[in-house]
Structure 1
Amino acid sequence: MTTIDYAKARELMVEQQVRPWDVLDPRVLDVLAALPREAFMPAAHRSLAYADLALPLGHGEFTLKPVLEGRSLHSLALEPTDDVLEIGTGSGYLTACLGRLTREVTSLEIHPELAQAARARLSEQSVDNAQVLVADALTWRNERRYSAICVTGAVAEIPAHFYDWLQPGGRMFVVHGRSPAMEAVLVRNEVNARRIQSLFETDLPYLVGAAPVPVFEF
């Protein structure tokens, strides 16, 4: 039976996948190089933890590819004092990365089983500044404002209340549009305006309930 050298696989992921995709923030690269991604993957897919793949998590959900995780973290320009809202916990891996980079993370997960598994993995990795809530981000209401928001599933249109959760000066990474031609953007909540910067094209599964309404042609 072949034993996988996860440390080497992690190094190759950073150097051959993530860094060439313009992820140059040294804090982000350090976290990706240190955090054991395999510890967050379902056992059946652990050997593929560092492959350039979206891995199934159950309930119709998938991880982001490592390059997308790295690019989202880099794009948000996270600071150690930031408070972050993550929409879509999934495996908990990106939650852990956010936790290592910022002061506090609140992560929303619609599937109770995924939330429970993510909490256990975060605890095992001593990520104690991240809380995972079972909630539907499309109906969840909260008066708190965050320095950064990371949305891990696509939306056809960015919900208005997502913007409301941003502090002045806050940033949001989100993928929107219609499959297969979606756009990843960075939203900046500036003093007198909202600025949206196009980052790259991609194609992601939608958040539950956030797919486009079907158009019927007669």
Structure 2
Amino acid sequence: MNVEQARFNMIEQQIRPWDVLDPSVLELLHVVHREDFVPEAHKSQAFVDVELPLTATRRMLAPKVEARLLQELKVQRHEKVLEIGAATGHLAALLGHRAQRVVAVEADAGLAAQAAANLKRTGVLNVSVLNQDGVAGVAAEEPFDVILLSGSVAAVPQALLNQLKVGGRLAAIVGGEPVMRAVLVTRKGASEFSSVEMFDTVAGRLPGFAEAPAFSF
């Protein structure tokens, strides 16, 4: 496989047509190599437009979904980011290249170890990987400028929204199959939040999040 041709095709045929047009995001996809974060058994599928299986219950988000979420969050260099569901660390690496610091939470011990090793090997040193449940966020590190849930949830827990700074943004894929929606929530004040639906998609469930609604948009 010609890796660079496959990467180019992924960006031009999958990601750009999905309204990912920010030049800095597209360039970053050339810098952070997706195949470095894909398990060996699935290396040949690293650039395919699918969610790749990581464990019996976890999947890596499709390339176009990762890129679109990254673009819509508009992470700035001075910002601190919380990622819930780090998996093997690919999105954490992308976030690390844009943010000042990233706290990446992963509930699965094996995936957390892979993420930490992948990030170290690829020289992304401003990401801390925590092996813990992500439902309650990371209160010791709050507030965050940006929170990203890298998987789907039935609803966004209020506890996570409360860890945003005023002006901070949270992105999540919310709902149930067959239709889920990626939403962007912005904290407007101490108890005021606004939400925008960005796009329809389907993604694997993040572990530990209650199926009962926790926050109503």
Q: Is the 8 A contact 1:183 1:202 kept in 2?
A: yes
Q: Is the 8 A contact 2:52 2:61 kept in 1?
A: yes
1:202 aligns to 2:201 (yes or no):
yes
Q: Deviation of residue 191 (structure 1)? A: 3.5
Q: 1:156 aligns with which of 154, 157, 166?
A: 154
2:21 partner letter: L
Tell me the SS of whatever aligns to 2:129.
Answer: strand
In structure 2, do the counterparts of structure 1 residues 211 and 9 end up closer, same or farther at CA, with 3 Å as the change threshold? farther
CA RMSD of aligned residues (A): 1.4
Deviation for aligned residue 1:201? 1.3
Classify the secondary structure of the residue corresponding to 2:205: coil
Cα distance between partner residues in 1 of 2:143 and 2:81: 9
Q: How does 1:8-157 map to 2 (within 5 A)?
A: 8-143=5-140, 144-157=142-155
Structure 2: which 5+ runs fail to align?
A: 213-217
SS at match of 1:153: strand
Q: Is the 8 A contact 1:157 1:177 kept in 2?
A: yes
Partner of 1:189: 187
Shift of 1:203: 1.4
Alignment: residue pair count: 210
The Cα offsets for residues 56-112 of structure 1, whole Å up to 9 and x where unpaired, read as: 111411000000000000010111111100000112111100001111100000011
| 2-structure distance, mates of 1:19, 1:141 | 33
1:169 aligns with 2:167: yes
> Partner residue of 1:216?
none
Q: Tell me which stretches of 4 or more aligned residues in structure 1 moved more than 3 Å.
A: none
Q: Is the 8 A contact 1:154 1:210 kept in 2?
A: no
* Partner Cα separation in structure 1 for residue 56 and residue 132 of structure 2: 15
Amino acid at match of 1:72: L
Paired with 2:78 and 2:33, the residues of 1 have a C-alpha distance of: 24
Q: Secondary structure at the match of 2:61?
A: coil
TM-score (norm 1): 0.92
Is the Cα–Cα contact under 8 Å of residues 83 and 105 in structure 2 kept in the other structure?
A: yes
Shift of 1:209: 2.4
Q: Deviations over 1:108-156 (max 9, x none)?
A: 0001110001111101110000010011012455141111111011111
Equivalent position SS for 2:51? coil
Larger Rg: 1
1:210/1:180 CA distance change after superposition, 3 Å: farther
Q: How high is the sequence identity, in percent, across the aligned residues?
A: 37
* TM-score for both structures, normalised by structure 2: 0.92
Q: Does structure 1 conserve the Cα–Cα contact (< 8 Å) formed by 2:136 and 2:160?
A: no
